[in-house]
Amino acid sequence: MTSKHRPLYGHLHRQLLPAPPASTPAAAGVTWNTRLRELSKHGQFSEALALYRQMLRCGGSPNAFTFPFALKSCAALSLSIPGVQLHGHVIKTGCGPEPFVLTSLITMYCQCNLIGSARKVFDECPQGNLTVCYNALTSGYAFNSRFLDAVALFCQMRELGVSFNSVTMLGLIPACTLPAHLSVGMSLHSCIIKFGLDTDLSVGNCLLTMYVKCGCIKFAKTLFDSMPKHGLITWNAMISGYAQNGLASNVVDLYQQMKSQGIHPDPVTLVSVLSSCAHLGAHSIGREVERQIELSGFGSNPFLNNALINMYSRCGKLAKALAIFNAMPEKTVVTWTAIINGYGMHGQGEIATQLFDDMIRSGVRPDGAAFVSVLSACSHAGLTDKGLEYFEVMKEKYSLRRGPEHYSCVVDLLGRAGKLAEAFDLIRSMKVEPDGAVWGALLGACKIHKNVELAELAFKRVVKLEPENIGYYVLLSNIYNEAGNLEGVLRVRVMMRDRKLRKEPGYSYVEHRGEVHLFIAGDRSHPQTEEIYRMLHKLESLVEGLHDLKENEISGMSVHSEKLAIAFGILNSEPNIEIVVIKNLRVCGDCHSFIKSVSKVLDRRFVVRDATRFHHFSNGICSCRDYW
């Protein structure tokens, strides 16, 4: 069995032993290089560097076939000091002019963020074979977010008549992943078509990713549909694109389509699908994905386990989430954050904070996102002092930047505790610009504590930042309404009319026997419509006591989607009625009291998951729950 065919991992210790004596020094060099290549090819970069050092210790001399792999390892690990040392060895051994070595040097310097050194190597490149050197530096600029330099270098290439190829494009396109740079990206796309490089699958994938990252999901889908071939990466790019842009149901559709075409998903695919299941609360699809993970042997993939914890937490299956958490041998800050979030969003603030403290004890350093999860856990559970303590520790002990996402949690925390003035002071003391979520949290607190004056102030700020967010208008209108200020209600309505803002229809859904049943207000499209309305009528009569309503009084737009969902659940004897509400504001007061009354009359417990409350989360969705 040659070393090329030997399984790598089990024999690592043997590979690190000194090289067997070879008949000639050149033959010994080949043996070292072969091993180095194997390790680098399998992503074993630390081992590759160890092997390089060992080679030097054993008196082996590196050559032009050694350096590319050793440099690649430094690049992958971002190790600049060994990288610079290697550069010294390159010069000493006279391998400097070798194009393979030069491009590896440029890449190494770029990945270590030493652009100046990369440029120096580039400027000294001998004429001829310039394309690869240009490619290396262009992609290096893109890697370091130097958009203008990358584009300028490409222009220079064209002016000097240096030929370019699809690899040039693969380096250049990632420079255009900001919406501001999209126009350049689109001209690159034209250029790609003009030169016939669009038949390259990798180039297509790269363009697809560019559109996705610029938020142009429509362009991305058009490109996807026009591509002659779809590789696994193509499917993944499109699926993760939908997931990143919050189009969770498109993710599920595309995933089904992918499977129906016989393409096997990999962990990258499944991570996106799970994150979308979490957004949708689509527990049954999530469970199916978990089976798929086990069948495919991806069970120990940490990315997938984190995604599973997140999915089960958001779907309300905390025990399951905890079991996966406990079984994970290595827990990163992401793992801890997922489980803390899970307990936090279900009002179990005590457990969430305990977990947070356990995390620190276990030596995992919290990051900004971990603090968001613990702060919001404190705010939901009313742990005001504890939350303020974390907020302090975040800055004092961990020197983490406190962003608007943290401030909005603390404003919420103070606001719910009735400390409106303190919340307002906190906002005024902010060194970063407060965003809509921060003012929105204050506005929400004003609703709870009926403070019209402060609400007006918060509203003024929030509509400046998010003029299109209808939720805030409705919130203020409700505050006025509760205060009996009808003039105020009218003023808000006029404002909405003038700005041509119309409330999007809210929708609610219930999962029944693995299927999602979706309702919009006044919906009559469900196959069981007649029975649902009859049940709703019955429930309305029950909670209204002796008032017997006429059938037509509960028909049309006044029938909220939550009510239809609950009537459907009761009608079908759904044991755990969990209604997920997606709209621009929290569950309305009318439905709130309706569900509460039904719960009381029937002596049953319901969970309403309101997917759009005024909490700032990175994905814009917060899964707070209310129980009745």
Partner DNA sequence: GTAGGGTTAG
Footprint on residues 351-370 left by DNA (CB under 7 A)? 367, 369-370
Which one among 135, 376, 379, 478 touches DNA, defined by CB under 7 A? Answer: 135
Distance set, CA 360 to CA 308, 356, 365, 366, 372 (Å):
22, 7, 6, 7, 15
| Pick 286 or 506: Cβ nearer DNA | 286
Residue 618 neighbours by CB under 8 Å, 6+ apart: 369, 372, 405
Smallest gap from Cβ 433 to DNA, in A, equals 22
Q: Which of these segments, 146-154, 229-237, 402-410, 502-510, binds DNA (CB under 7 A)?
A: 229-237
Q: Is 341 in the site for DNA (CB under 7 A)?
A: yes
| Pick 366 or 488: Cβ nearer DNA | 366
| Pick 280 or 535: Cβ nearer DNA | 280
Count CB neighbours of 51 within 10 A. Answer: 23
Q: Is 267 in the site for DNA (CB under 7 A)?
A: yes
| Pick 232 or 470: Cβ nearer DNA | 232
Count CB neighbours of 304 within 10 A. Answer: 21
| Pick 271 or 476: Cβ nearer DNA | 271
Q: Which of these segments, 86-94, 127-135, 434-442, 530-538, binds DNA (CB under 7 A)?
A: 127-135
Q: Which of these segments, 136-144, 152-160, 497-505, 522-530, binds DNA (CB under 7 A)?
A: 136-144
Smallest gap from Cβ 142 to DNA, in A, equals 8
Residue 44 neighbours by CB under 8 Å, 6+ apart: 8, 12
Q: Is 30 in the site for DNA (CB under 7 A)?
A: yes
Q: Taking a C-beta distance cutoff of 8 angstroms, is the pair 62, 30 a contact?
A: no
Q: What residues numbered 61-100 form the site for DNA, per CB under 7 A?
A: 63-66, 68-69, 71-72, 75, 98-100
Burial 246-259 (b: 16+ CB within 10 A, else e): ebbebbbebbeebe
70 burial level (CB within 10 Å; 0-12, 13-18, 19+): buried
**Helix, strand, or coil (residue 626):** strand
- As a whole number of angstroms, the distance between CA 524 and CA 521 comes to 9
Classify residue 281 by its DSSP letter.
T
Q: What residues numbered 242-261 form the site for DNA, per CB under 7 A?
A: 244
| Pick 37 or 604: Cβ nearer DNA | 37
| Pick 314 or 447: Cβ nearer DNA | 314
Residue 282 neighbours by CB under 8 Å, 6+ apart: 248, 252, 276, 315, 511, 516
Distance set, CA 562 to CA 65, 81, 292, 578 (Å):
67, 61, 33, 10
Which one among 44, 117, 337, 384 touches DNA, defined by CB under 7 A? Answer: 337
Q: What residues numbered 195-224 form the site for DNA, per CB under 7 A?
A: 200-202, 205-206, 209
Element containing residue 70 per DSSP (H, E): helix 67-77
- As a whole number of angstroms, the distance between CA 245 and CA 261 comes to 24
Which one among 61, 131, 284, 529 touches DNA, defined by CB under 7 A? Answer: 131
Which one among 236, 469, 561, 612 touches DNA, defined by CB under 7 A? Answer: 236
Q: Which of these segments, 27-35, 257-265, 317-325, 453-461, binds DNA (CB under 7 A)?
A: 27-35
Which one among 73, 104, 376, 379 touches DNA, defined by CB under 7 A? Answer: 104
Burial 18-31 (b: 16+ CB within 10 A, else e): ebeeeeeeeebbee
Smallest gap from Cβ 202 to DNA, in A, equals 3
Q: What residues numbered 373-432 form the site for DNA, per CB under 7 A?
A: 373
- As a whole number of angstroms, the distance between CA 251 and CA 256 comes to 9
Q: What are phi and psi of 38, to 5 degrees?
A: -60, -50
Q: What residues numbered 161-180 form the site for DNA, per CB under 7 A?
A: 165-168, 170-171, 174
Smallest gap from Cβ 395 to DNA, in A, equals 17
Classify residue 158 by its DSSP letter.
H
Which one among 190, 222, 332, 354 touches DNA, defined by CB under 7 A? Answer: 332
Smallest gap from Cβ 347 to DNA, in A, equals 17
